Structure 1
Amino acid sequence: MRTRWLVVGLTVSVLLNLYLLLGWLRTHQPQAPVPRLATRRPVVITNLLRPLRTNIVFAPRLLSWRDIESEDYPTYIANLRAIGCPEATVQDIIVADVNELFAARRLAEVPNPRREWWRSEPDPELVRQAEAKRAALDAERQALLATLLGPDWETRRLTAQAEESRNPLDGEILGTLSAEARRQVREIEQRLARRIESLRATADPEAADPEADLARLEREARAELARVLPPAQLEEYLLRYSTTADRLRAQLRGFNATPEEFRVLFRAQEQMAERLDQLESGPGTPADARRLAALAREYESTLEKTLGPARYAHYRLLQDPLFRQTRQTAERLGVEPEKLIPLYRVNQLAAEERQRVLTDSALTEEDRTRELAELYTAHLASLRQLLGEDAFRRWQAESPP
């Protein structure tokens, strides 16, 4: 009995001790720090730091042309004047800028009749349109400059005049030239113009062939152009502006060549000129004469194959001096186009008969004079019938006796 109570007492004592131990541990755990509220106190400034001018470091932004230039011309002018630009310089800058603007518009908006390089004469309607558009653009340019610079400004035709006097580099082929290529082409043109002017100023009136030196200068300019322009652009330029093309257009007046026909004829003439240049200079030899004759036959054969028999016959007719003279007379008198060929045949027959009479050694001088008079009378009668009385009298009035 006493043993059982002893066990119970020990158990209760152990439990009480454990309870007391747990309570002591709980009361002795470290507490979490309590945040300290900062106390705001008035700030007392004991010294003042005032920056001196010598302590300030400036980082200025440099003035650039973008700060001055403007797409709005009045603003542009005001900016130029604001930086102290002299008035004469302001005018030069604005005139050059406006001229450049309208030069670009002319290239884009004014039709260029010489783009149709295959025509012997430009299309009259296209010429009229080009002149009207050019005049309208020039009036617009003048009005803009008068508005910007005042009504009494002195025109300085920088870009405008220079561009008008040059061969326009426009169209689908030449219009794609870079600015650098355009500059080089203009320099070549200017050098050629100076050389031609110098040649004419110093030319010997007694020279046997003054055109040979001119042709040499043009060949040199062409070689320079070939170093600047690709083949397609070089040919387009030459088709428009070369002496060969101008001469060919004159020869083909009335032929109404197509672009392809003109190009073929132009290339044939260019090839013939190159081969002629390869012949030795100086007095002609029999061998040179034979080579020239062979070149001429080859040239004519190329033309006939390209044009076909009918068109080639028409082309050869246009090369006849008598036909060209007859055509000029008919145009001057206002004769109907359908009468041109009959007039040519009458003149041709009269010329052949006159040549026959002049070279007939069997005729006496009296017979020759009589036959020539009869031929002249018959020729006049044929002309009167073809031309009509009014045109015939006008022809007689302007013809030498």
Structure 2
Amino acid sequence: MKQETHFSQATPPGRGAISIIRLSGPEAVKSVSKICDKRSLPLTHKRPILTTVYDTNNSPIDSALVTFFPKPDSYTGEDMIELSCHGNPHIVDAVFESLLKTGIRLSEPGEFTKNAFLNGKIDLIQAESIGNLISSRSKVAAKMSLRILRGDLTARLLKIRGSLIDLLSKYEFELDISEEDNFSIISSRKAMSIIVKCMRGCDSLLRTYNDGLLYNQGVRLAIIGKPNVGKSTLLNCLLGKDRVITSDVPGTTRDTIDALFFLRDIPITLVDTAGIRKSVNIVEERGVERSINEAKNCDMIINLLTPKDFKEKFSFNSVPVISVINKIDTLSGPQKKRLSKKNLCISALFNVG
């Protein structure tokens, strides 16, 4: 397959201290040499060089640092160059135009990582982990993705695979000599021990996968209940700030409201919903309908109740529901004690429970 030289902006678009433009391919050095001050050449392995970048009319665009990563000691396994200029979109556009005039092209999405895989610098698991690391929503998720990127998961999989291949080869050898001699190279007990160990290793990997999903994707948690049970107050309490307007007037919340917070580094999206009741108000009725549909699509539901109606519970077929009794601050001491024996009780207003 013919290698083409391509480039793209490695830093997010917009204004900032610097913008980094990366090039990869056999013509990377040649292309950069055409647009840079000739007095700063030749490029040296991994040594940043301060130079001036010029446009097609030989007018200076910007002062930039150019760093050369020769193959195969680069991310893609090809000749790579990082050009660091000032973070102004007009400067970046001008550099892009100059590079295009040298005959190279813009990179396709994910092309640097694709080339790294094709050139044997990373495997498919590591390639996937790069995207996960960039999009990680918590510190734990970032650490998990980094371990995978460093090859920890691949090493564990290869170890399991190696054990099974070794076991299979011994059984194939026994099949080849079984007609000639009553000889066993491995006992059934030993073979079973190896298989069980591999199965446990796979189970452990599956558990880490589920943990990864939890820390990366998080949990979507809906707070539902009748009007004025304190749903918005509970959401504000969990967030530690007044995200939603609260009122003693039933039906204040007419639409679903999302808010993100972290619990032990797990991203949780709280969904405040409209109070569920029958209404002649068309707007409120639509809000109730949307709330029910939203709850059905969540991972978990908090069914918020009050001491007056704590036996009236909502149920959803496929979504786990946790029933919580709010407003225990309105009860006397003995009433609180009696109700708390078999129920999960809180006071969202006073952050109790």
Q: Normalising to structure 1: TM-score of the pair?
A: 0.25
Structure number, greater radius of gyration:
1
Larger proportion of strand: 2
